Structure 1
Amino acid sequence: MVLNLFRRDKLYKPSEQIADYIIEKTIGEGRFGICYQVSQDQKLYILKQLKRGMLKKAGVKARFEEEILKSLQHESVPRFIKKIECEDFYGYVLEFKAGKTFEDIIYLDKHVFARAEIYKVGHQLVEILKYLHSKSIVHRDIRVPNTLYDGQTVNLVDFGLARWINNEIYRADMDFAFMGDFLLHLYYSSFELKGFKKRPWYDELLLKPKELLLLKRLMGVNQRYKSIFDVEEDFHETFQANK
């Protein structure tokens, strides 16, 4: 059955059913879709509902997330389970990953990330990017709402903007600015503004020289890294320098 792109999207409520899955709660809604936590036979999954307007506008681009997720097998990336397509719904079921978003951890829980934990998290993120780039995939949306953490493990979700690397429009180094911005959120969790004058991050954060250079190169303030392996080398050197 083909999805009617001109009908309004139905928002599903707890206890409602889609295919064989029961809605437990809504996790979040964005421009492209709505994510639900669902269950089947007492096991949790994530159900992503793609919005009709986005499908109509994006066309074939809307299929990239499904195609890319099907190609991945990594413990920190949700597995693609199945697609659901009917008159009232188009989307897919993904593996459930435990943890809170870094956005909630920082801004709701007010968690302060010490240096050791920043490196622990950053190391895992580097490993995820090494895997994705080895599969010729650039994520393009590594942000605090799209990363989960349970205190031990980092998981990267939401592959709606992910694309196959072609070294023209879609390059691996696009992920580095996102990684730098993500790390800055962790550093700022311990920052206390003194006075009223805001300054650039590289002036107001108390960073050691290697940290500063790493972040500047990730963010493109200095010459941006070309390879995740170069990022990995400098990241570990920075970690060793701060032990």
Structure 2
Amino acid sequence: MGSYGISYLVFDHKAKEKRVLKQMRPSRLNSPKGKTLYEYEINMLAALRHPRMPRLFDSFEENGQLYYVMNYIQGKTLEDLLFEENRKFGEREAWEIILELLALIKHLHERRIIHRDVRIPNVIWNDDGIYLLDFGLARYLDDSPSYLETTNDHYWPEKRLKREVHPRSDIYALGHFMLFMLYSTYEAKAGEAERIWEEELTLTPATVRILRRMLQLDTPYATTAELERDIQDFLEQQEKRF
């Protein structure tokens, strides 16, 4: 159950496979932007053509309620791996994962789609690789952040960066995604005061430099291609060292 929808795991008897049925929350349905956002998301999902992203099968209204049907992507989220399985990610492995996820983000940006919600519960791993889910906040470039409002000035500063309809907002989210993986190996000492990530984590200068740009602490990356080059250069240098 999320802010705007309720998801059910269902079985399609005709196709003989599991699928996901998502219902717009009844409390949201009668809000000023409820049905408009539902239709926007349906059109967005219908436009996706990627094997590592949700596939829309159907959308319909039943007893005054709005629903749509997607394929069921089975696997574990990064949230599961970190907090239930205590998975540890080294610096190099974390960048390799970001690079794989970046390929999906790049695919969207080339189609003028900004995801705006790249978070650890929205990325799934299974034997086939990484999948990117939840396009409820996705927007086309040049559309307003909330679709019915012209600005995101009502958001607090960090959320404003995450919700900007610009490629750098997805890159910013990827920076936080990276920090979640890097912190998997961090162990705080008892009684030690909390410090900024640059002081708490032992990272190579190249990683710090890339992350600072992703998090918009230094000149932000304008495109995913620019970030991709820097990560590939880092991994190549690491390969030479070993």
Q: Identify the TM-score tier after normalising by the shorter chain.
A: 0.7 to 0.9
1:203-218 alignment, distance < 5 Å: 203-218=199-214
Q: Indicate which of 34, 37, 43 corresponds to 2:17.
A: 43
Post-superposition Cα deviations, 1:61-115, rounded to whole Å, max 9, x if no partner, equal 3322211110011111011111131115312111111211111111111111233
Q: Which moved more, 1:110-119 or 1:152-161?
A: 110-119
Post-superposition Cα deviations, 1:15-38, rounded to whole Å, max 9, x if no partner, equal xxxxxxxxxxxxxx1111111221
Map of 1:162 onto structure 2: 138
Q: Indicate which of 215, 219, 238 corresponds to 2:234.
A: 238
Q: Indicate which of 113, 117, 124 corresponds to 1:137.
A: 113
Q: Which moved more, 1:191-200 or 1:181-190?
A: 191-200
CA 1:217–1:168: 2 relative to 1, 3 Å: farther
Map of 2:161 onto structure 1: none
| Count of residue pairs the alignment pairs up | 215
Secondary structure at the residue paired with 2:82? helix
Q: Which has the higher helix share?
A: 2
Map of 1:120 onto structure 2: 96
Identity %: 29
Q: In 1, distance between residues paired with 2:82 and 2:127?
A: 13
Map of 1:68 onto structure 2: 44
Map of 1:198 onto structure 2: 194
1:191 corresponds to which letter in structure 2? Y
1:149 corresponds to which letter in structure 2? W
The Cα shift of 1:238 comes to 1.8
Contact preservation (8 Å) 2:91, 2:203: no
Q: In 1, distance between residues paired with 2:72 and 2:201?
A: 36
Post-superposition Cα deviations, 1:147-196, rounded to whole Å, max 9, x if no partner, equal 11126511110100000011875212111111111111111111111242
Secondary structure at the residue paired with 1:177? helix
1:51 corresponds to which letter in structure 2? R
Q: In 2, distance between residues paired with 1:151 and 1:111?
A: 16
Q: In 1, distance between residues paired with 2:127 and 2:215?
A: 26
1:228 corresponds to which letter in structure 2? T
1:49-88 alignment, distance < 5 Å: 49-57=23-31, 58-59=33-34, 60-87=36-63
Map of 1:219 onto structure 2: 215
Secondary structure at the residue paired with 2:185? coil
Q: In 2, distance between residues paired with 1:113 and 1:40?
A: 37
Q: Indicate which of 116, 126, 138 corresponds to 1:150.
A: 126
CA RMSD of aligned residues (A): 1.7
Secondary structure at the residue paired with 2:94? helix
Secondary structure at the residue paired with 2:20? strand
The Cα shift of 1:208 comes to 0.4
Map of 2:177 onto structure 1: 182
CA 1:151–1:213: 2 relative to 1, 3 Å: farther
| Runs of at least 5 residues in structure 2 that lack an aligned partner in the other structure | 146-164
Q: In 1, distance between residues paired with 2:128 and 2:71?
A: 18
CA 1:199–1:129: 2 relative to 1, 3 Å: same
2:174 corresponds to which letter in structure 1? M
Q: In 2, distance between residues paired with 1:234 and 1:112?
A: 23
2:43 corresponds to which letter in structure 1? E
| Runs of at least 5 residues in structure 1 that lack an aligned partner in the other structure | 1-28
Secondary structure at the residue paired with 1:158? coil
Q: In 2, distance between residues paired with 1:73 and 1:174?
A: 22
Q: In 2, distance between residues paired with 1:88 and 1:189?
A: 45
Secondary structure at the residue paired with 1:123? helix
Map of 2:66 onto structure 1: 90
The Cα shift of 1:40 comes to 1.3
